[in-house]
Structure 1
Amino acid sequence: MQNKPRYRIYSEYLKEKYGVKVYKLPINLPLTCPNRDGTLGNTGCIFCGDEAAGFESLSNQMTVKEQLIKNMEYIQENYQAQKFIAYFQNFTNTYLPLEEFRHYLIDACIPDIVEIDISTRPDCVHDAYLEIMADIKEAKGIEIGVELGLQTVNYHTLRYIRRGHTLAEFIDAVRRIQNYGFEICVHIILNLPGDTIEDAIESAKIISALGIEQVKLHSLYIVKGTLMAEEYERGELKIISMEEYIERVIAFLEYLDPNIAIQRFFGRAPKDRTLFCNWGHHWAQVKAKLDKTMEKRDTYQGKNFNYLGGRGVRKFIK
């Protein structure tokens, strides 16, 4: 494996796909989640704060176009990106009336935007929204992808974090999205309380078996004011060590299809809004430790990707 990447890097994946450096621009819409407003639940996921994941987003009082242009100017100046992805990031971006959804997507189709990515939940994937996405993709000639929050394949843990869905809804959502030909990025948290390294491995195997194109790993951070923060402050929450998290990441990668691109390995959140994040280290420091450990072991993504396609009968196949 000398001089070869030990995992498929998302930025390189984008460069292969579009031929130039591509940067993702977050969009913040004025919406919520059916797991928060009483439709499917009232509390939301126990780790989710009032801002959800949109720490780096601009105000949702700005239009989609305004947010994109402002972010684009900054990124072009500081990172020399040439093309961009409009990332509908915060909360559940298919949880709004159909015509509003269509309007927001059309508003994102501006020069230098080569792709639109839509973050949502498995129980908010409906053919009506997918048809709108397909229409816009054809009319505007722009790629569209879906970022799908799963967090864990362990249905006991899904219940504990009050996710509001199980693995079945995730599989259904993946099949529906794939019917329309959209690429999928799955979000996974590898150190949720109650999960083990076996859950990390099973997550990789299920994602690989379903033919997912991208994955985004998160290390759990504790946002102030959340239900999980209350457990943490009471001393009821056990978070695994940084070393154990790295072990889970490596195991996940070893069982992951080597063609799947990795968008992220660690969570990122402001210190002033969290009680815990990345064991007190900057995410880049933990990433460096991961890379060093993988190099020392000479391991890599897909090392154990040998379990699909009838493994038990291969000895009979010439």
Structure 2
Amino acid sequence: MPEKKLYFPYSEYLKKIYGEKVYKLPVNLPVTCPNRVDGHGGCTFCAASGTGFEALSPDLTVGEQLRRTREKIERRYKAHKFIAYFQNYTNTYLPLEDFRAYTEEAAGERDIVEIDISTRPDCVSPSYLEVLGDLRRRRGTEICLELGLQTVNYRTLKRMNRGHGLAEFIDAVLQIRNYGFQICAHVILNYPGDELEDAVETARVLSALQVDTVKIHSLYIPKNTVLCEAYENGTISVCSKEEYMDRLIAFLSYLSPDIAVERLFGRIPREEAVFCNWGTSWWKLRDEAEKRMRERDAWQGKYFHYLGGSALRK
């Protein structure tokens, strides 16, 4: 008897769409974030370099960045299809015509089948979606927007200094749905102040909104951030590895089985952080999480029976 699938992996999701393994190529643009320039100082966990730790310099053209990274991936994995991942900061905060030019350049590169745009829920508007829609119509390139939600707990969002609440995320999802683009939600399951119930409710909301994929992060603390200062002076603490495992398994158990899971743990170069993954590699933690799921007879969607008028079924 085949082993029960613990969760729906992103790699399988991409194979269903494109028929083979697809690899992401990070792109780093000369852009920042409105939450960093409006006097708010940015999210408490955001490093000066954003999240593009693996990306090349934004001084290089989009085409040059894609070609350099693609050559490495091609040699190592014999890959044939790629996603241009506009990863760092808030890419729809660019001037509209610059955004159009950068995405057009990416779509023109060889073997690019999809463009992923990382942005904030409060930076999604029809004008930018129209640019992406026009690009897809002309070139046939698939589009995905990656939205940093982090948690549905609006009080925690305020402590994060996110600069937006849950309403903006819902609005962004509804706007993007009108264009038929894929949606990926980023979540942090163990930000200080959140509890297991918040992880569960985040899974429930994402399932109700029918996002396509989710990228799960365990909290890491970059150096020289507001969160770093609070961690080092003892103002905040990070939950134990065991507690995170409980939250992760609960999140997956309530998540719709149709939502693909891109990752289970956060990643950051060790030299960039004061805390990451309890000093353990992400792949060892992944193996441990999967082992715990088997031991508990847990799987993605085990408790996904709360939508569609659930009270009427009782």
- TM-score between both structures, scaled by the size of structure 2: 0.98
Report percent identity of matched pairs. Answer: 58
Counterpart in 2 of 1:3?
Answer: 3
| Mapped pair 1:96 → 2:89 | no
Q: Which residue does 2:234 correspond to in 1?
A: 235
Cα distance, 1:18 vs structure 2: 0.3
Q: Which amino acid aligns with 1:258?
A: P
Number of residue pairs aligned between Structure 1 and Structure 2: 313
Match of 2:142 in 1: 143
CA distance in 1, matches of 2:66, 2:250: 37
Q: Following superposition of structure 1 onto structure 2, how do residues 78-117 of structure 1 map, counting pairs within 5 Å?
A: 78-109=76-107, 110-117=109-116
Give the Cα separation in 1 of the matches to 2:56 and 2:110: 20
Paired letter, 1:181: G
> Separation in 1 of the partners of 2:160 and 2:298?
32
Indicate the residue corresponding to 1:226 in structure 2. 225
CA distance in 2, matches of 1:314, 1:291: 32
Q: Could you tell me how far apart the structure 2 residues matched to 1:84 and 1:187 are?
A: 21
One-letter amino acid of the structure 1 residue matched with residue 30 of structure 2: P
Q: Deviations over 1:210-266 (max 9, x none)?
A: 011100000111100000000011011111011110110100000000010001111
- Supply the distance in 2 between the matched residues of 1:63 and 1:265 (Cα, whole angstroms): 32
Residue type of the alignment partner of 1:18: Y
**Which residue number corresponds to residue 121 of structure 1?**
120
SS of 1:230 mapped into structure 2: helix
Which residue matches 1:166? 165
- Aligned pair 1:29/2:22, yes or no? no
CA RMSD of aligned residues (A): 0.9
Structure 1 match to 2:243: 244
Instruction: Tell me, in whole angstroms, the C-alpha distance in 2 between the residues paired with 1:98 and 1:276.
Output: 37
Which secondary structure does the structure 1 equivalent of 2:37 belong to? coil
- Residue 278 of structure 1 corresponds to 277
Q: Secondary structure at the match of 1:159?
A: helix
Give, in angstroms, the shift of residue 3 of structure 1: 1.4
Range that drifts further, 60-69 or 71-80: 71-80
Equivalent position SS for 1:35: helix
3-state secondary structure, aligned to 1:94: helix
Q: Partner amino acid for 1:118?
A: I
Cα deviation per residue 1:16-73 (whole Å; 9 max; x = unaligned)?
11011100111000110000011xx431000000111110000110000000000000
1:287 counterpart residue number: 286
The CA deviation string for residues 264-302 of structure 1, in whole angstroms up to 9 with x for no partner, is: 111101111100000000111111110100111121000
Distance in 2 separating the partners of 1:69 and 1:205 = 39
Q: Does 1:15 align with 2:15?
A: yes
Cα distance in structure 1, aligned partners of 2:16 and 2:179: 22
Q: Which is worse superposed, 222-231 or 306-315?
A: 306-315
CA distance in 2, matches of 1:117, 1:5: 27
Picking from 42, 45, 51, the partner of 1:44 is 42
**Alignment-mate amino acid for residue 150 of structure 1:** L
Q: What TM-score does the superposition give when structure 1 sets the normalisation length?
A: 0.97
1:152-181 CA distances to partner (integer Å, 9 max, x unpaired)? 100000000100000001000000000111
Where does the alignment leave 5 or more consecutive residues of structure 1 unmatched?
Answer: none
Structure 1 residue 12: Cα displacement:
1.1
Does 2:197 match 1:216? no
Q: Distance in 1 between matches of 2:77 and 2:152?
A: 36
* Equivalent residue letter for 1:269: I
Secondary structure in 1 matching 2:92: coil
Q: What is the SS of the residue equivalent to 1:36?
A: helix
Instruction: Please tell me whether the aligned partners of residues 40 and 161 of structure 2 are also in contact (alpha carbons under 8 angstroms).
Output: no
In structure 2, C-alpha distance between the alignment counterparts of 1:229 and 1:11, rounded to whole Å? 33
Runs of 4+ in 1 over 4 A off after TM superposition: none
Where does residue 152 of structure 2 map in the other structure?
153
Gapped runs of 5+ residues in structure 2? none
SS at 1:204 equivalent: helix
Deviation at 1:5, TM superposition (A): 1.7
